[in-house]
Amino acid sequence: MRILVAEDDAVSRLLLEKTLERAGYEVIAVENGACAREVLCGSDAPRLALLDWVMPGLDGPAVCRAVRGRAEQSYVYIVLLTSKESKEDVVAGLESGADDYLTKPFNPEELKARLRTGRRILDLEDKLVEARDAMHFRATHDSLTAIWNRGVILDLLGRELARSYREGGCTAVLLADLDHFKAVNDTYGHVTGDEVLRETARRLVGSVRSYDFVGRYGGEEFLVVLNNCDAGRALSRAEELRRAVSEKPFRTQSGDLRVTMSAGLLVSKDWGLLGVEQILNYADSALYAAKAAGRNCLRKASADSAPVVPAVVVDKA
């Protein structure tokens, strides 16, 4: 594990460096507080630090305050090395942001023991961050396909539409549905159906830009939000997505399956100010029209006419 040592006395710094290297640490040694602050506030800062309290220019407590003022970076466990022994000084050091202190001259074994304590605390923090991130992922992503879940994709759509209206941009919304998916489940079982859904999500995500959004709208329906989409290219971009799903067989435990997808497209530039619910209603009408046209195709909702509605009621499955 990497550790920063900030000590202005060259002999003490060398002694600390050798002691820590023998203990298995990768040591970064600096001679003043300004250098310590630069390293610890950098993008790849070590997670452990030993700071001499008294250093020219910037002392140990000042470095602590600078490190604690960073935003959204990994926690650094800081030990102050000091000759100060009064309770007032100890309190001042800890309140500056230090996690522990060690009085000079220190015992090397005590130093290593205190650093082991710091490593345990950092390990615990890492586990808590990992658990928090896992909880956030489960709350925002579909458990089967690992793409955005319905709640999040609708929220992202709303934000993107608001941004487009505000900046005069264009957002393309694609509501897509796998054709005859119920037959896949009925014929091959739900395990194979789940494989198809995961592969569909993978193909859609692989066919959009990093700043576009793909979410599972529900069942076998997917919602794709193409941000900053050129209105003239929206139809061809949507068709590329449909082909990405429909043209290649799906390899499953039941063998290769051909699965097709129908989709309804809405381009915000064609419409004016509409809410998320209205947008989805028009996109859904376009999707029904694609189903009525024989499936495995794309239909665009047009603002020049009444909302697209199929001539007959069609089961979207």
> Can you give the CATH number for the domain in which 7 is found?
3.40.50.2300
What's the whole-number average pLDDT of the chain? Answer: 90
Q: Whole-angstrom Cα distance, residue 35 to residue 28? A: 11
Model confidence pTM above 0.75: no
Q: Is the same domain home to 34 and 90? A: yes
Q: Is the same domain home to 270 and 128? A: no
Q: 205: domain CATH number?
A: 3.30.70.270
Is 246's pLDDT higher than 90? yes
Q: What is the pLDDT of residue 311?
A: 36
Mean pLDDT of the 85-114 span = 86
Domain that holds residue 19: 2-140
Q: Is the same domain home to 89 and 184? A: no
Is 313's pLDDT higher than 70? no
What residues pair up with 178 in beta bridges, in sequence order? 261
Known catalytic residue at 220: yes
Q: Would strands 221-226 and 250-252 be described as parallel, antiparallel, or unpaired?
A: unpaired
Domain boundary among 140, 162, 187: 140
Is 282's pLDDT higher than 80? yes
Q: Is the same domain home to 125 and 267? A: no
**Structural domain total, the chain:** 2
Q: What confidence tens digit (pLDDT) does each residue in 191-224 have?
A: 999 999 999 999 999 999 999 999 999 999 999 9
pLDDT-based confidence at residue 308 (cuts at 50, 70, 90): very low
pLDDT-based confidence at residue 104 (cuts at 50, 70, 90): confident
Q: What is the pLDDT of residue 315?
A: 53
Among residues 26, 220, 240, 277, the one annotated as catalytic is 220
pLDDT-based confidence at residue 302 (cuts at 50, 70, 90): confident
Q: Is the same domain home to 160 and 88? A: no
Residue 284 near residue 264 (C-beta atoms within 8 A): yes
Among the listed ranges 38-47, 64-73, 237-246, 287-296, which one has the minimum average pLDDT value?
Answer: 64-73
Q: Would strands 172-178 and 261-267 be described as parallel, antiparallel, or unpaired?
A: antiparallel
Q: What confidence tens digit (pLDDT) does each residue in 138-152 have?
A: 999 999 999 999 999
pLDDT-based confidence at residue 314 (cuts at 50, 70, 90): very low
Q: Is the same domain home to 111 and 154? A: no
